């Protein structure tokens, strides 16, 4: 049975270079940093404070904006204590107060007692929700690892797959020498974003290192500079390198679309036969340029087919007699 993804409150607050900065101050409940967040969606607490507790969803961050803070301030101390106690009876990972607003002391004390982190950010409510949601989607995204190489080719993320020793790294090295960027080699971490997008990156410990047979491990960033690397890239094309087999019928026109499925997301696929004398890097670059053209609405195979069909449908001019 697969477990639902979750992230601890403390891990969510750790700085990440690829994520938008999120400035927070911990007012109470620091010992609850291990509490689990299970949904990328946050929830506002207006209805819950008004007594509609069935609207509180477990595992979601509660957001306090100005209306919630002012509502609690308008209650008597005894009412504040009761409201805070009822609120914290639910499975709440943490409470985030926005726009620099400090909640009432009764809620601060209740959070400290219950071990529920109470956070305050100076960011406005809308911006804070957008930032925290982006981080949650990143942490809670479905993930997988593939054996391959991911390169940034003219802005298109190209995932190169194939059996061990077929030349994936050498192909990527050729592309880097032509001015393209390496994202990951050998091990590519893939996570699904917003249901239909796949982002790829390399494990942090081995990021931008590449194994080249006969040379050994090389550091692409040290050799070629920062312009030759990219931390992450959306996968827009999969190129499957295959050893040339004369018995196999390879695609020649490109009319039939092929797809590769990762994490239930379909990505355009090109099967590339590898044989002596074929420049694999050139072919992969052409495949990437071809895919970019198709993404802009120009499909060469269909264009030629339509031209030929129009020509066949046009009567030939009569010869002079």
- Tens-digit pLDDT profile for residues 97-123: 999 999 999 999 999 999 999 999 999
Told to judge if 266 belongs to the known catalytic residues of this protein, a careful annotator would answer no
Does 318 map to a domain? no
CA 212 from centre of chain: 28
Given a cut of 90, whether residue 28 has pLDDT beyond it is: yes
Lowest mean pLDDT among 167-176, 243-252, 268-277: 243-252
Told to judge if 294 belongs to the known catalytic residues of this protein, a careful annotator would answer no
**Average pLDDT of the segment spanning 159-182:** 93
Angle subtended at Cα 202 by Cα 200 and Cα 207, rounded to the nearest 5 degrees:
150
Annotated catalytic residue within 91, 109, 174, 186: 186
pLDDT band at 320 (very low <50, low <70, confident <90, very high): very low
User: Please, which residues have CB within 8 angstroms of residue 225's CB and are 6 or more apart in sequence?
Assistant: none
User: Please, which residues have CB within 8 angstroms of residue 102's CB and are 6 or more apart in sequence?
Assistant: 27, 69, 108, 120
Which one of 123, 139, 155 terminates a domain?
139
Domain co-membership, 127 together with 168:
no
Does 219 map to a domain? yes
pLDDT band at 3 (very low <50, low <70, confident <90, very high): very low
Does 20 map to a domain? yes
Domain co-membership, 223 together with 263:
yes
**Could you tell me the sign of the dihedral formed by the alpha carbons of 149, 150, 152, 154, in that order?**
positive
Q: Are 231 and 18 in contact (CB under 8 A)?
A: yes
Told to judge if 278 belongs to the known catalytic residues of this protein, a careful annotator would answer no
Domain co-membership, 175 together with 252:
yes
pLDDT band at 124 (very low <50, low <70, confident <90, very high): very high
Given a cut of 60, whether residue 50 has pLDDT beyond it is: yes
Please give the tally of structural domains in the chain.
2
Annotated catalytic residue within 213, 247, 252, 321: 252
User: Please, which residues have CB within 8 angstroms of residue 196's CB and are 6 or more apart in sequence?
Assistant: 265
Which one of 106, 139, 172 terminates a domain?
139
Beta strands in the chain (DSSP E): 7-8, 25-28, 36-37, 43-44, 62-64, 95-97, 118-120, 143-153, 156-161, 181-193, 197-201, 209-212, 216-219, 232-243, 259-262, 265-274
- Whole-number Cα distances in Å, 257 to 63, 148, 251, 301: 45, 22, 10, 11
Return the pLDDT at 5. 76
Q: Compute the distance between CA of residue 114 and CA of residue 190 in angstroms, rounded to an integer.
A: 37
Domain co-membership, 121 together with 158:
no
**Average pLDDT of the segment spanning 87-93:** 89
Which one of 139, 162, 180 terminates a domain?
139
| Beta-strand pair 25-28/118-120 | antiparallel
Look up the CATH number of the domain holding residue 27: 3.40.1390.20
Q: Compute the distance between CA of residue 99 and CA of residue 66 in angstroms, rounded to an integer.
A: 8
Annotated catalytic residue within 168, 191, 192, 207: 168
pLDDT band at 156 (very low <50, low <70, confident <90, very high): very high
The helix/strand/coil state of 1 is coil
Task: Give the residue numbers spanning the domain of 81.
Answer: 7-139
Does 86 map to a domain? yes
Q: What is the dihedral of CA 193, 199, 204, 207, to 10 degrees?
A: 180
Whether the pTM exceeds 0.75: the reply is: no
Domain co-membership, 45 together with 150:
no
pLDDT band at 12 (very low <50, low <70, confident <90, very high): confident
pLDDT per position as a tens digit, 217-235? 999 999 999 999 999 999 9
Given a cut of 90, whether residue 146 has pLDDT beyond it is: yes
Work out the number of other CB atoms within 10 angstroms of the CB of residue 123.
Answer: 21
pLDDT band at 87 (very low <50, low <70, confident <90, very high): confident
Q: Report the share of the chain in percent with pLDDT over 90.
A: 53
Return the pLDDT at 277. 72
Domain co-membership, 213 together with 154:
yes
Given a cut of 90, whether residue 245 has pLDDT beyond it is: no
Work out the number of other CB atoms within 10 angstroms of the CB of residue 26.
Answer: 16
Annotated catalytic residue within 53, 147, 178, 243: 147
Return the pLDDT at 1. 33
Does 316 map to a domain? no
Return the pLDDT at 19. 62
Does 315 map to a domain? no
Told to judge if 41 belongs to the known catalytic residues of this protein, a careful annotator would answer no
Return the pLDDT at 278. 79
């Amino acid at each position: 049975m697969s477990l639902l993804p979750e992230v601890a409150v403390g891990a969510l607050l750790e700085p990440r270079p690829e994520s938008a900065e999120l400035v927070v101050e911990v007012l109470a409940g620091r010992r609850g940093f291990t509490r689990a967040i299970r949904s990328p969606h946050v929830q506002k607490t207006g209805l819950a404070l008004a007594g509609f507790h069935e609207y509180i969803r477990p595992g979601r961050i509660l957001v306090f904006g100005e209306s919630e803070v002012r509502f609690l301030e308008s209650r008597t101390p005894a009412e504040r204590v009761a409201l805070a106690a009822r609120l914290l009876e639910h499975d709440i990972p943490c409470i985030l107060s926005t726009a620099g607003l400090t909640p009432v002391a009764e809620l601060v004390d209740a959070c400290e007692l219950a071990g529920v982190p109470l956070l305050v950010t100076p960011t406005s409510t809308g911006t804070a929700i957008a930032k925290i949601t982006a981080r949650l989607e990143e942490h809670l995204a479905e993930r997988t690892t593939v054996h391959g190489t991911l390169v940034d080719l003219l802005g298109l993320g190209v995932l190169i797959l194939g059996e061990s020793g077929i030349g994936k790294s050498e192909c990527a090295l050729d592309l880097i020498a032509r001015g393209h960027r390496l994202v990951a080699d050998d091990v590519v971490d893939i996570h699904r974003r917003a249901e239909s997008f796949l982002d790829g990156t390399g494990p942090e410990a081995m990021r931008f290192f590449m194994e080249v047979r006969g040379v050994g491990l090389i550091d692409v960033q040290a050799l070629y500079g920062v312009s030759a690397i990219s931390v992450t890239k959306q996968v827009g094309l999969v190129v499957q390198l295959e050893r040339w087999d004369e018995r196999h019928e390879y695609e020649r026109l490109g009319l039939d679309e092929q797809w590769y499925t990762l994490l239930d997301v379909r990505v355009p696929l090109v099967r590339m036969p590898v044989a002596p004398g074929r420049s694999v890097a050139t072919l992969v670059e052409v495949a990437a340029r071809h895919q970019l053209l198709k993404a802009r609405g120009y499909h060469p195979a269909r264009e030629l087919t339509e031209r030929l069909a129009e020509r066949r449908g046009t009567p030939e001019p009569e010869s002079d007699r």
